[in-house]
Structures are given as C-alpha cells and as structure tokens.
Amino acid sequence: MSENSENKTPHEATENAPGARDHAAQAGQLDAADPLGAAVRDRFVLDDTVYLDGNSLGALPRAVPGRLAEVISHEWGELRIRSWDEAGWWTAPERIGDKIAPLIGASPGRVVVGDSTSINVFKAVVGGIRMAGKGCTEILVDATTFPTDGYIARSAARMTGLAVRPVEPTRIADEVTERTALALVNHVDYRTGELNDLPGITNALHSAGALAVWDLCHSAGALPVGVERYGVDLAVGCTYKYLNGGPGSPAYLYVRESLQERFDSPLPGWNSHADPFGMTSDYAAAEGIVRGRVGTPDILSLLALETALDAWDGVAVEDVRTKSLALTDFFLDCVAAYAPPGRVRSITPYDHGRRGSQVSLECSGAAEVMAELIRRGVIGDFRRPDVLRFGFTPLYTSFADAERAAWVLGEVLRELPEEDAAPGAGG
Ligand SMILES: Cc1ncc(COP(=O)(O)O)c(C=O)c1O
Ligand SMILES: Nc1c(O)cccc1C(=O)C[C@H](N)C(=O)O
C-alpha cells in the first residue's frame, strides 16, 4: 500500500502518460486481500458506476427494500395501530440508538434516534447551555463547521443570552475560558475531510469547565469515535452518510450517562414525557436517554435505518478505519500517478491522524470536472468554489473503485485544459 504517501502530493507527480494504468493490478491485489471485501460489499445495491459519495448519501443496503415492504404491508397495512406495541414501533428510537451506540463507542442507553441533525444540534446546544455554570457568557463554535450547526448555535445562543465565538478547532484549547459553556465541534470537516482531535479538544474543554459537543456526521461509521472513552458530553450525527440509513433518515443524539439526569431538553415533546399516555398538562421528563425524544417518530425511515445497520453485522469499526486509510492512501497514490502535474492539490491531510474518510482535491474548474466525472460514471461531489470531494465507504468501496476514479479523473483533466476550466465556476 502507500508506504510513503505522506511525503507525496499529487502535484509532484511526474508520470502522466495516458495508458500507463499501472495501479490497476495493485488494486486487484488489495481487493483480494481485503478482509471486508466482496461479501460485505454484496450487502449493498451497487452498479457499474464508482460511487464515492457515501459521505453525503450512503448506498442502499440490499435488505432494506424487503424490510420496508414488510413494514408497509404487514405492520402498517395489517396490524395498523397495534404496531406501536406489537411491532416495537414505540421503543424504536432507543432500540436503534443502542444499535448505533457501539459504532460511536457508547454503551446501551446513551443514544436516541430521531429528528434531523439540525434539530439535535439545537437540543444538544441548548441542553448543554442549561447544564453549564451560571457565570458562562459564551459558546464556541467550530469556525469551519458545516453551516447548519453554526446557524442553529447562533439562534440557541440568542435565545439563551449567550455570545457565540467562532474558533478554529485547533485553537479551541487556547481560546476556551471559564466563561465558556460549551464548544460545538465537527469531528470531521465536511469540506476538507480533516479529522479534528476529539480526545485533545474534549480534554481541553473539560479542563476549563466547559462541555464538549461533537457533530459526528462525517465520522460515525467511518472511524472509531470513542465518545465514552474520551468523555464526550453530548454528540449528534446523521445516519444517511456512512450509516447508510437512506435519504433524510433520522439523526441521533448522544448524552453522557452522568449528564442524563440534568439534561433539560429545549424541545420537551410528549414522547420524552415520563408518562406520555397520561396526557397531563404538566411536563415530567422521562428517565434516561428517552428525554432526548420529541414527537412521534418517523417510523418508516427509522425501520429502514434499523435494517440498514444490519450491514454492520460482524464488522468492526476498527477494521473499517484500517480500510478507509488504505483506500484514501491508495487513491492519493493513484491521483499522483494519473493526474497531470499541478492540476489538483489535496486539501485533505496526508497524516493519518488528521484524515477522515474522504479526499478533497482543490481543482480549478471543479464544477465542470465533477460534472464530467459523473457523466463518465464516477460519482463524487463538488463544493464551491473549487473542491472535488471523494468519499470512501469501506463497507462497499473497493480499491478498484479508487483506481478507476483516479484514472477517469486523469482523463478528464487531460481533456479539459486548465485554461478552459474556470476557477470557482458552478454551484
Ligand atoms: C457536519 C454536518 N452537520 C449537519 C448536517 C446536516 O444536518 P441535517 O440532516 O439536519 O440537514 C450535515 C450534512 O448535511 C453535516 O455534514
Ligand atoms: N443532507 C443532504 C441533503 O439533504 C441533500 C444533499 C446533500 C446533503 C448532505 O448531506 C451534504 C453533506 N452534509 C455535506 O457534507 O456537504
């Protein structure tokens, strides 16, 4: 595999002869030796395109359509209202939370599934502020965050009378003060694929008396998170990326066990009530992670997610991480070999300790280049102004996919001369 990829950058490549597809044989060897390999890949519906957009929408697990058909025809069609009890609909948010828990390093009873990530950010930030000390006057927000977290955090701060200070993740340890209630940080940067230092940042926040709130959207299912091991206080994440739950599948909220009793949800809907069918006008929060619930769960999406998570049977997230790093190393090597020198530059760190499971390449005319890649069957995505994003989902991405994507990228870059590729074009 790429022993010295950390010293090599795509723009240093010198060999670009079209036809010198010299990494293809290596891809075959790596796939043959891959312990996740074809059997796990076969759990997904794939076609002959190279799908490198699982960091935005994961592929469809093969078992989901049949399960959904059964839920619709039997549980909804025949059992109807009885399914809330008889088919376990009512308890699905906690049950499926327990299925996600091991993937992020949590014990049972710490994760509840429901609502969107944006809504869970709101619950976590306001809930965190309500647990913070009286003298706190501000929250810190990852300056590079996916926008929704920033928008929600600013609104939450406005509602609670606190200030918001955007801080680069690497600066949080220096910027946190005794007046900081919490910091909201993305574990992996959606744009660059950079992995932020969750243990170090969490520790620094705790040393200053602040809570650590993590957005795991781009890390859960791609690498071990270790929420309990590192003492994370609150975390949120989506399930439609590396967890393959489907478009708009419900998100999750993690609350550290020792904080659950103090977790005062800003959205105390009836599903989080200690006695929801008491239908009383007074609110009494349920015990435990149930208090992270709001209203009626989105059962069809929830149950699709539950079956999607079966694709993890027998798979260790540590093995997924090993393959993810091998895939991204190999892709960077292939890009170095196949792309015309100087046309792309990786903005994803080469250092394994700082890399998530995607490779982002800065490229002039990126919108046009990605459109052409997609036309040729290589599906990544584009983020303005000039970033090509390639997400690697170790459960189903093969080394052959990585090689083919880099090869087609090389072809496209040779055919679209740089001067024709307007920087920042498209949206
Ligand atoms: C880091 C991060 N947070 C939040 C979101 C979005 O959350 P929601 O599912 O609420 O749209 C995304 C992606 O869409 C994301 O990448
Ligand atoms: N959630 C998405 C959607 O509903 C439509 C299109 C894309 C998305 C995404 O997830 C974007 C993604 N979070 C990103 O990293 O850019």
What angle in degrees, to the nearest 10, is found between the helix axes of 117-131 and 147-160? Answer: 40
- What mean pLDDT comes out for the span 350-360? 98
Q: Which two tokens stand for residue 289?
A: 């992670």
Percent of the chain with pLDDT over 90: 92
Give the pLDDT confidence of 29-81 residue by residue, as tens digits: 999 999 998 999 999 999 999 999 999 999 999 999 999 999 999 999 999 99
Residue identified by tokens 């239908």 is 279
Residue identified by tokens 């609670």 is 160
Span from the CA of 55 to the centroid of ligand 2 (angstroms): 8
Q: In the structure, what pLDDT confidence band is assigned to residue 19 with cuts at 50, 70 and 90? A: low
d(CA 364, CA 337): 19
pLDDT at 219: 98
pLDDT at 418: 79
Of 34-38, 137-141, 355-359, 400-404, the range with the lowest mean pLDDT is 34-38
pLDDT at 423: 46
- What mean pLDDT comes out for the span 152-156? 98
**Half-sphere exposure for 387 (CA within 13 Å, toward CB):** 17
53, 55, 56, 357: residue to mutate for ligand 2 pocket, most atoms within 8 A of CB: 56
- What mean pLDDT comes out for the span 359-379? 98
Residue 425 has pLDDT above 50, yes or no: no
Residue 420 has pLDDT above 60, yes or no: no
Q: What are phi and psi of 51, to 5 degrees?
A: -100, 105
Check pocket membership of 242 for ligand 2, CB cut-off 6 A. no
- What mean pLDDT comes out for the span 114-138? 96
Give the pLDDT confidence of 203-260 residue by residue, as tens digits: 999 999 999 999 999 999 999 999 999 999 999 999 999 999 999 999 999 999 999 9
pLDDT at 134: 85
Catalytic residue among 122, 389, 390, 401: 389
pLDDT at 424: 40
d(CA 368, CA 57): 21
Number of Cβ within a 10 Å radius of residue 206: 16
Residues of the chain with CATH 3.90.1150.10: 5-36+315-420
Nearest residue by C-alpha to atom 5 in ligand 2: 56
pLDDT at 232: 98
Check pocket membership of 160 for ligand 2, CB cut-off 6 A. no
Gyration radius (Cα) of the chain, Å: 22
d(CA 289, CA 175): 31
Check pocket membership of 56 for ligand 2, CB cut-off 6 A. yes
Name the H helices within 132-263.
147-160, 172-175, 198-207, 257-260
Give the pLDDT confidence of 282-291 residue by residue, as tens digits: 999 999 999 9
Q: What are phi and psi of 7, to 5 degrees?
A: -100, 0
Could you please state the CATH topology (level 3) that the domain comprising 65-312 is classified under: Aspartate Aminotransferase; domain 2 (3.40.640)
**Half-sphere exposure for 205 (CA within 13 Å, toward CB):** 31
pLDDT at 419: 60
Q: Across all residues in the chain, what is the average pLDDT? A: 94
Q: In what order do the strands lie in the sheet with 381-383?
A: 344-346, 358-363, 387-391, 381-383
Catalytic residue among 41, 110, 123, 241: 241
- 194's CB contacts (< 8 A; 6+ apart) are 188, 348, 349, 354, 355, 356
Integer angstrom CA distances of residue 231 from 198, 235, 254 = 10, 11, 12
Span from the CA of 250 to the centroid of ligand 1 (angstroms): 11
pLDDT at 6: 37
168-172 contacts, C-beta under 8 A, 24 or more apart: 168/142, 168/143, 168/144, 169/142, 169/143, 169/144, 169/196, 169/197, 169/201, 170/196, 170/197, 172/140, 172/142, 172/201, 172/204, 172/205
d(CA 328, CA 313): 24
Q: In the structure, what pLDDT confidence band is assigned to residue 422 with cuts at 50, 70 and 90? A: very low
Q: Is 389 a catalytic residue?
A: yes
d(CA 70, CA 72): 5
d(CA 40, CA 63): 12
Report the CATH number of the 5-36+315-420 domain: 3.90.1150.10
Ramachandran category for residue 254: left, alpha or beta (phi over 0 → left; psi -120 to 50 → alpha): beta
Tally the residues of the chain.
Answer: 427
Residues of the chain with CATH 3.40.640.10: 65-312
Which atom of ligand 1 is closest in space to residue 117's alpha carbon?
Answer: 10
Q: Is 321 a catalytic residue?
A: no
d(CA 289, CA 271): 11
**DSSP characters for 4-68?**
TGGG--GGG-----TT--TTHHHHHHHHHT-SSHHHHHTTB---SSEE--TTTSPPPBTTHHHHH
Residue 143 has pLDDT above 90, yes or no: yes
What angle in degrees, to the nearest 10, is found between the helix axes of 24-32 and 399-415? Answer: 160
366: closest CA among 413, 307, 319, 332?
413
